[in-house]
Structure 1
């Protein structure tokens, strides 16, 4: 039997990159999957890919900065499949490169609202459901930028550090109530977000590769494998952690 047979998984930011790879992995492991995403086109493409692979999935348009959207997403999940067992809070945004004094308040607010408040809203309503229904597992997407600093990206770095703080605190709050919460901290992964960051510049890509001792960038499925493991019974003793999946970046 697949690890998630009979389970329901929710993935925000599931329209591309790490979110899409993780949604596909959950479905291949037997879960019914709900995709929450701002872009309906991208979200429905993920649903189509899952269904083509023989899995079950549905889409609910979601802006994670709006609490009513999160409540609707969870209602859609429960109404569609009868419950919510695991959640991957992955929706996020990066920031333009600029030194701290040159960053704007608008950029700071946008990044914090999506990356931090979006995770907080998601956990808030996921935990409410899980408390009333016997528990569950939550994984949040932080970053190696949640573990170390990156000059020129203060809003993003601050947001990803905050995700780890939210993760650890909520994990401790509900550890004895059958809710496990962890985070993943990816290095540079080949996603549309990374392509946007590099602007398609090959020298920037090569520089990023050189920062990873393994000598390459990561693949979305490598993060997906870790997320699905964290949500499985095999990781039953893992709680409140921010796990670096970074090709050795933070080991230097």
Structure 2
């Protein structure tokens, strides 16, 4: 069941991942008119696009898959052109593309790859969609108590991490990339405020996705560690991250930009002693 009402057209990048896929499904359920599912895994997102059609609340819903490399500016521009040709506008960009560092060592190639995807990719995506959003007419909604309200021209939401605000051992590349994403979010929000494009981010801790399984291989007792470290005592469901993304896209958040929604079950409050 959708928690927010969404209209308009969305691009979800990283749609083959756990959070991205759930964002696609949540957008469809919430009433989006169209979703482009984008990922470097082109075959997988085509299947996800088809699955989303069965969940759509809008009778006019359309969904397409698109193979994109967020580290390649030409590939990103091709994605945006495809979206405009397909739907005529872009109302939401959800950037859930991301990779984790696999090496504890400070290896240059590993560092560059993580930053290219997690930070530079976010910059290229925002840069590509911003002119489209800025040049389109915003939607207007009618409220029962306040009459007509004009929405922003577009909403960009980056999926970051609680590690954008902290650090743990052996993840230098990932942590610095997420810190950079925080800066990109805030700077983009400032730059785009004059054209009524909002930019925000969500920062989850451990989410129950396939990416977490690889961490479990390296840390056999990871689930017990999470249970003890997180005050809420459990993993985050990808649907819970998608709910925060929908909020930042929807009419309820039209005055929010340059902000972060921390989704950490209280972890950032400090250590638990139970």
Alignment TM-score, normalising by the size of structure 2: 0.87
Match of 2:216 in 1: 198
Deviations, residues 33-70 of structure 1 (Å, cap 9, x unaligned): 00110112321221121022245210110010011111
Greater Cα offset, 150-159 or 74-83: 74-83
Partner of 2:184: 166
Post-superposition offset of 1:176: 2.7
The residue aligned with 1:245 is 263
> Which deviations, in whole Å up to 9, do the C-alpha atoms of 1:86-125 show, x marking residues without a partner?
1101100001241xxx220000000000001100000000
- 1:112-162 residue CA offsets vs partner (Å, 9 max, x unmatched): 000011000000001121122242110011100101111110000000000
Could you tell me how far apart the structure 1 residues matched to 2:88 and 2:233 are?
Answer: 44
Q: Which has the larger radius of gyration?
A: 2
- Residue 75 of structure 2 is aligned to residue 72 of structure 1: no
Q: Is the CA contact 1:64–1:122 (under 8 Å) kept in the aligned structure 2?
A: yes
1:110 corresponds to 2:113: yes
Check whether the contact 1:15–1:45 (CA below 8 A) recurs between aligned residues. Answer: no
Q: Which deviations, in whole Å up to 9, do the C-alpha atoms of 1:61-90 show, x marking residues without a partner?
A: 001001111111111111111210011011
Matched, 1:9 2:10: yes
Structure 2 unaligned blocks of 5 or more? 138-152
Q: Deviations over 1:162-192 (max 9, x none)?
A: 0000000110112232111101001100011
Please say if residues 16 and 46 of structure 1, whose CA atoms lie closer than 8 Å, have aligned partners that are also in contact: no
* Structure 2 match to 1:61: 67
1:38-53 map, 5 Å: 38-53=40-55
SS of alignment partner, residue 102 of structure 2: coil
CA contact (8 A) 1:16 1:42 kept: no
Q: What's the RMSD between the two structures over aligned residues? A: 1.4
Residue aligning to 1:147: 165
Contact 2:119 2:180 in 1 (8 A): yes
Distance 1:116 1:24 in 2: 25
Could you say what secondary structure the match of 2:199 adopts? strand
Aligned residue for 2:221, secondary structure, equals helix
Runs of 4 or more, structure 1, over 3 Å off, are none
1:179 maps to 2:197: yes
Structure 1-normalised TM-score? 0.94
**1:23 alignment counterpart:** 24
Q: Matched residues in 2 for 1:209 and 1:33: separation?
A: 35
Give SS of 1:182's match.
strand
Shift of 1:200: 7.7
8 Å Cα contact 2:226/2:233 also seen in 1: no
Secondary structure of the 1:91 match is: coil
Mapped to 1, the partners of 2:203 and 2:79 lie a distance apart of 25
Higher helix share: 1
Whether the 8 Å CA contact 2:6–2:249 is kept in 1: the answer is: no
Aligned match of 2:100? 94
* Unmatched segments (≥5 aa) in structure 1: none
Q: Distance in 1 between matches of 2:220 and 2:55?
A: 33
